Chains A and B, each alone.
Chain A
Amino acid sequence: MSVLAAEPRSIRLSAPKWRLRTGRWLSPALLLVLWELGSRTGVIPTRVLAAPSVVAQTLWSMIVSGELASNLAVSLARAAAGLAIGLVVGVALALVAGLSRRGETGVDPLMQLGRTLPSLALTPLFIVWFGIGETPKITLIAVATVFPIYLNLFAGIRGVDAKLIEAARSFGLSGWQLIVHAILPGALPSFLVGLRYALGVAVLVLVVAEQINASAGLGYLINNARDFMRTDVIVVCLLVYATLGLSADLIVRALEARALAWRTSFLKS
C-alpha cells in the first residue's frame, strides 16, 4: 500500500484477452482436470480441498437456496457503506487540501502520516472502540479507502496544467466555475485511479473485517465452513471474492471509458 498515488496512465492493468484461439484457456483447464482427477483418486482429500465438481454443486445449491445471495448482499452492503464514507471523506479532504494552501497545510501532513499506517493494523483498536458489530467492519473499510482517494485526487488537483487554468481564468471563469469547469475535470483521471485502488482495497479489507465475529456475510460463511471443514463452501466464497474484485475493476473501467472519453487514449479505440 505504499504506492497509492500513481501516474494515471502507468497502471492501466491490461486485461488478458481470453480468446479461444490463443490457447490461453488451456493451462487453467488442465489444472482443473488434474484437480478433479486428484480428488477422485483420493490424492487430494476433501478436507484439504473439495473437487471442482463438488464446488460447482455446492455453488449451485447455495444459489438456489438463496444462502449465497443473502450473505453476499450483507457483504456488499458493508463494502458499499465503508467505501461511501471513505469516498466522501477522501474527496472532501482532497478538495480542502487541493484547492487552498491553508487547507493543504492543515490536512496534508495528517494524511501523509496516516497513510503510512497499514489500515488493517487498526483492527484491534477498532474492536476495543466499537465492539464486534458492523461499526468496526465499516470503519475499517472507510479508513482504508480514504487514503487512495485522497492521495490521488489531491495529486490530480495539484497536477492540473496551470496554463489551462490561466486560460480559463482569462476567459472569465472564477471561483466555483473555475473549479467545476477547469480544475475538477483535469483531476478526474487521477481520481479514477484512486477509485480503482479504493475498490480493490475495499474488497481486501472486507475479507479481513468479516473475520471479526460476523453473523452474516461471506466472512461468516467462510468461518462456519472452516469450523465444519467444508472446503467446498470456502472455495465458493473465494470465487465470490474474486468475482467482486473483478467487477470492481470492470466498474471503474466502464466509468473511465465514459468520463474520460476526451482523452486521446480512448479516442483511438
Chain B
Amino acid sequence: MAPPVAVSIRDFTRRFGDTTVLRNLNLEIGQGEFVALLGRSGSGKTTLLRTLAGLDPADREQVVSPSARAIVFQDARLLPWKKVWRNVAIGLPGRDTRARAEAALTEVELSHHLDVWPATLSGGEAQRVALARALVREPALLLLDEPFAAVDALTRLRMHELVLALWRRHAPAVLLVTHDVDEAITLADRVLVLDQGRIAAEERIALPRPREADPQFQAIRSRLLAHLGVTAPGAKETPPAEGALVAFPTGEIVT
C-alpha cells in the first residue's frame, strides 16, 4: 500500500502571458516526506511553491495540498512594525498566542529576542523567526523557498541541523527549494530537478544522516549536477581524496 500523500499535483500547467513556466507537471509528496527541489534560475521553482502555498491561482482538481501549510520566504518578510513574538503569532487563531509564539521561538533558539523589533535582527535570526512563524502553525506541509540563501555558510550549517531537528520532531511534509545541490542531498529524502516546466530528474537519497562524508554523496551530486547542466563534477569545492590530484576544467592542477 502506498503511503498517504500530503501533496498531489496532476498535469498542472502555469503560464505567464506567452511563456509556459510549468508544463503538465506531476508531483506527489508523502506525509512527512522531505523533498528538495533544484532547478536553474527561472525554471519555475518559486512558481511551483507559490502554487502549493495557495498564493497563486490553481485548479483544486489538479493541485491538492493540505490546508495546514506554511511558507518561509527567501527574504524573511517579517512585519517591521510588530515585535518578534507578534510576528510569529500573526494570524494565529485561539488563545495564549504569546505562549505558543514563545515556544516556537524557543525551538529556533531565539527565546531571548521575543520583544525586539525585527529591524534589529541579523539575517540568520530573521530567517529563524520566519521559520518559527511557519512552525507555530503546526503545518502538515512546510514550504521553504531558498530560506538559507542569504545567510553565511556557518549559519547555514546550523540552520540545516535546526531544520532537520524540527522536521523530525514535528514531521511535516517539506518542500525545500534551493540552488545548493549539497544542501539538497544533505537534507532531503528525495531530490527533484525542475527543468522545462516539469520534473526532469528525481534522486532518492537513502543514505543515513549525517551524509556529507558518505562515499555515495559525490556520485549523487555529480548526477544531479549533470541534470542541471553542470558537466564538471569536481568544479565546486570538492574535498579531494587524500593525496589525489584533481584536474579542474581550466587545466589547473590542485593537490
Contact = CB atoms under 8 A, between A and B. Distances in A.
Pairing of A with B? yes
B77 A167 contact: yes
Nearest to A265: B119
Contacts of A263: 80, 119
B48 to A, nearest CB: 15
- A-B complex: 8 closest residue pairs judged by Cβ atoms: A172-B91, A167-B77, A185-B81, A171-B91, A262-B117, A264-B119, A262-B81, A173-B91
B218 to A, nearest CB: 38
Interface in A151-210: 163-164, 166-173, 177, 181-182, 185-186, 188
A186 to B, nearest CB: 7
Given A170-B55, A262-B80, A267 B73 contact: no
A166 B55 contact: yes
Interface of A: 163-164, 166-173, 177, 181-182, 185-186, 188, 261-264, 267
A165 to B, nearest CB: 10
Per DSSP, chain B at the interface is loop
A185 B79 contact: yes
Contacts, number: 54
A162 to B, nearest CB: 11
Nearest to B118: A262
B81 A167 contact: no
Contact of A261 (B73, B77, B91, B117): B117
A82 B79 CA distance: 34
B37 interface: no
B73 A262 contact: no
A178 to B, nearest CB: 9
B58 to A, nearest CB: 14
A168 B120 contact: no
